[in-house]
Amino acid sequence: MIENFKQVARSIFNEYVEAWKKSGKFVVGYPCTYVPEEIIHAAGLLPFRLRGIGISSLSVGDTYFGPVICSFPKCVLELAGNKKYSFLDGTVMSNGCDSMRRLDECWRKADKDIPGIRPGYFHYFGVPHKVTDYSLQWFEEEIQLFIKSIEEHFSISVTDQDLNNSIKLYNQGRRLLKQLDQIKIGEDCRITGEDALALVVANTAMPKETYIPILSGFLDNIETTCKIIPGRKRLMIVGSINDDLDFFKVIEDCGAVIVADSMCFGSRTHHDLVEETTDPVKALAKRYLNHAYCPRMFGYYKERLNFIKQKVVEARVDGVILQNIRFCDLHGSENGIFVRDLEAAGIACLKMEREYGPLVESGRVKMRIDAFLEKI
């Protein structure tokens, strides 16, 4: 079962997306955890999180972005430029960070030079950077515009009941992933960080109606199917986006096991639920805007620091790796402050810059992890 999830996590176009497309249904990509997937699902569409794995060059990405910028959106644009995202019927862009905001502009420009690489539905979804009464109201209006744009383009209607059904389904999936987190932090760890990451990545690339029963069955039988992993240093990974299983494998092959994280392909995606007993648009706006564990949100540094400290205690973490993609201003800046405050609290830390996905320098990473494990 794990191998099946790994196949999904290591690919862009997978068997579940293929089956969805063959049934005549549409797929809509999204780049960031601040885009409410429930809206896409409620419209009868498949939400598919954009990733940049599997590239061998950045000829398209470098043309439109330039060199001094995060490599993640460049990799996404590279795949789009090479028509690897031709299965998408739509894409939602957002301002998760400035680099991701520029992906909207660069994709539109690249489509003029390489016609057909932009899906027919291409919507920009703005997200405020702080939580106030007026920003929450503005975000609700943005969600309403998002719903209206989907209805108009795909000639469908999204009702409150549709939204409520999707919210309940997505909350069910989040509860299962929270259960996975509890298994990871247990004293008798039964799943590697690499395998756990595969489960989380697959969650963003499969229909929930298929994914949830498979994950539930795996978690129900984990004590009989997965052996205890003994005698390894217990690590927590914090920082920039990572959906690369090999990055986790390099770390764990050094003699560690990743038992906790604070990443957007990780615990940050499912830490909080959407209210199920109130107006669905208000509930979605409240949950997604109060999703404060990403440094894009102003004024929540103490909450993010405390989240890491709490995980360190709960998971009996021996050391924290604070990694960021090169030129990631948000995580790069905040990781430096985390190191100061975590080390002051007696928590061993390693701060590391890297490139995204297949550009990871495995030899350099291994050398630094080996040294860090000797230190702790």
When pLDDT is averaged across residues 340-344 and rounded to a whole number, the result is 97
Q: With contact defined as beta carbons under 8 Å apart, do 14 and 210 qualify?
A: no
- ∠ at Cα 216 (20, 51), nearest 5°? 45
When pLDDT is averaged across residues 255-268 and rounded to a whole number, the result is 93
When pLDDT is averaged across residues 169-181 and rounded to a whole number, the result is 97
When pLDDT is averaged across residues 204-213 and rounded to a whole number, the result is 97
pLDDT at 357: 67
Tens digit of pLDDT for each residue in 9-27? Answer: 999 999 999 999 999 999 9
Task: Cite the beta strand spans of 17-141 per DSSP E.
Answer: 27-30, 46-49, 90-94, 121-125
The confidence band for 358, taking pLDDT boundaries of 50, 70 and 90, is low
Q: How many domains, in total, are found in the chain?
A: 1
Tell me which DSSP letter residue 105 carries. H
Residue 12: strand, helix, or coil: coil
Residue 272 in domain = no
Instruction: Give the integer Cα–Cα distance in Å for 243 and 356.
Output: 9
- Give me the percent of the chain exceeding a pLDDT of 70: 99
pLDDT at 347: 97
Q: Is the pLDDT confidence value at 360 over 70? A: no
pLDDT at 65: 93
Q: With contact defined as beta carbons under 8 Å apart, do 195 and 252 qualify?
A: no
Q: How far is CA 125 from its chain centroid?
A: 17
Q: Is the pLDDT confidence value at 291 over 90? A: no
Residue 132 in domain = yes
pLDDT at 102: 94
Q: Is the pLDDT confidence value at 109 over 90? A: yes
Q: Is the pLDDT confidence value at 366 over 80? A: yes
Residue 159: strand, helix, or coil: coil
Tell me which DSSP letter residue 243 carries. -
Residue 216 in domain = no
The confidence band for 61, taking pLDDT boundaries of 50, 70 and 90, is very high
Residue 360 in domain = no
Lowest mean pLDDT among 127-136, 192-201, 353-362: 353-362
Q: Is the pLDDT confidence value at 226 over 60? A: yes
Q: With contact defined as beta carbons under 8 Å apart, do 295 and 307 qualify?
A: no
Q: At 132, which CATH number?
A: 3.40.50.11890
- Whose tokens are 């549709």? That residue is 162
- ∠ at Cα 325 (35, 261), nearest 5°? 65
Q: Is the pLDDT confidence value at 295 over 60? A: yes
When pLDDT is averaged across residues 132-161 and rounded to a whole number, the result is 97
Residue 241 in domain = no
- Whose tokens are 């960080």? That residue is 193
Q: Is the pLDDT confidence value at 37 over 90? A: yes
The confidence band for 363, taking pLDDT boundaries of 50, 70 and 90, is confident
Q: Which two tokens stand for residue 59?
A: 């000829």
Range of the domain at 118: 11-156
